[in-house]
Amino acid sequence: MKFGIAAKLAVVLALVGMLAAGISGFYAYSASRGLLVQSAKAELLTSTRVLARRITVVRQEISRTLRALARHPAALAVLDNGSPARAAELATQFALLQEANPSYFQIRLIAADEPGLERVRVDRNGSALLRVSGDHLQKTGHHPYVFETLRLRAGEVYMSRVALNHERAADAALRQPSVQFATPVVDASGRTRGVIVINADLNGVFGLLAADLPPDFQLYLTNGSGDYLIHPDASRTFGFDRGRRVRVQDEFPATQKLVDGRVEDLVIEARSPTDDKVAVVAGFIAAYAQVHTADNRFVLGLAQPLDSILARAAPLGGVVMQIVLGLSIAGILIASILARAITRPINALSNAVECFADDGRGPALPVRRQDEIGVLARRFAELRTKVAQQMGELEHLAQHDPLTDLPNRALFDDRMRVALAAARRDESRLALLFIDLDDFKPINDRFGHAAGDRVLKGVAARIRQNIRESDTAARIGGDEFVILLRSVQSVDDAARVVQKIDEAIGQPFELDGHRLRVSASIGVAVHPEDGLDAAALSRHADAAMYRAKQDGRAAERSG
């Protein structure tokens, strides 16, 4: 059986249509997967920074506890005259703190003389608390957390190196990863009389901090040299204390520049150190203790399997496949019609096929013709328009938040990069605003997530109404937004925008007969005063937002 020109043409047209639909679908899916991975990297780095801030909060809480204990009248009384009653009072205070903080292995009051004799000590022994007294009290003046702390001023805090505990004083802490925090006890004359020491369980602290992380996240913590302190495989931790070294730069070579201090953060794709068959995306940052310590630099990291990230693209893949299948079927139908209708105008048909994927930049289709060529041309024009529309929709979905229709992090980062380049070239200013809604979770808990979503849409709308068209607002998290203000004249300009947005967000929302109010904590960073690049501006704005949130909570408490 011979195929005529019409049949051959029908086959060619069908193949061209299917190929165009397949290439378009493949490109859309590949581009979406790439954007998804980039977005996941940014989210992973943000999660790592959030965890680092939580660590800072824990350290600050321990420091506040130490300072409060150092100012307790019973501490000086015990050091002055060894009063048994005041010692019992202080021991009770130690025990109450340990009950409230399961990560505290031990709390001690140590005298500055005698030398370094423990005067009051409460140990954790399993689930019980034990006050140690009499001959069981030890002299600890040879430990750095004693003699180094005695050199500090009142209110300053010392932190020991993170290591496996070898002191047999605290049974629960023996051979466990721990760290000692200490502060001096100073009398009214300014004389250092002793130290208060808290021995903290590192695993317990990080267990609480990581409780909210997704189950497939892996947590890493190293000291300044890269030696693991926390690792998904516990046998690889504290190698330096067991006669061998297991370091992050050995398992993730790219982190060498982070350990060397050449960068402050990085995101990489690598093989999981616990399973070489699993690819992971890992974010690492350098963190600092910000207290007196021999090793104040740490490397904190989070890793997530790449498969978990790409699994989010599965629904999009299904949509793309449906689009490709629909376009392919449409192409086959059009080819069948053309095969029956066209016999002579082969050249015109060929030109139309060649111009199919040119987005109208090639020769114009003869859509005004009233014969078979005109019909074919109009079908191709419709198909090309549908492809362009669907590609535009996919691109919009990939760059915008589906709830608020604000730009997402990927689009915002791109606009930030362009704005920074323009600001450097023109020597102009721009401002970066971080916005976090206060107490948003109770709205979801009380009225449901649908109400919370309506509030988020309302907040987004109010933000858009109070910025210029040249500015960019984006949603980067559940109740977190960022704003890029281009070409600001001064810090006061940014402050006025902050005030407008704060007042707009503070207006009540009417939802199903309820008047709901939300407030926002807003942090501002201005280029070039607060940073020359996006990372520095983000850190500054994030820190400013955190201070605003803390100030707001402090104001509520004082009010």
What is the set of active-site residues? 479
Strands 514-516 and 472-475: unpaired
Of 7, 13, 74, 11, nearest in space to 354 by CA: 13
Cβ(506)–Cβ(519) under 8 Å?
Answer: yes
Of 255, 159, 254, nearest in space to 200 by CA: 159
Taking every pair of Cα atoms in the chain, the longest distance, rounded to a whole number of angstroms, is: 115
Cα dihedral: 409, 413, 415, 418 (round 10)? -170
Distance of CA 101 to the CA centre of its chain: 26
- The DSSP bridge partners found for residue 523 are 434
d(CA 90, CA 80): 14
Buried b (16+ CB within 10 A) or exposed e, 62-96: bbebbeebbebebbbbbbeeeeeebbebbbebbbe
Q: What single DSSP character describes residue 444?
A: H
In 56-215 the beta strands, taken as DSSP E runs, fall at: 104-111, 118-125, 128-132, 158-159, 163-164, 177-186, 192-201
Angle at the Cα of 94 from the Cα atoms of 88 and 100, rounded to 5 degrees: 140
Distance of CA 52 to the CA centre of its chain: 10
For residue 537, the SS3 value is: helix
d(CA 493, CA 182): 45
- The DSSP bridge partners found for residue 475 are 481
Tally of CB atoms within 10 A around 302: 26
d(CA 516, CA 453): 13
d(CA 362, CA 344): 23
For residue 156, the SS3 value is: coil
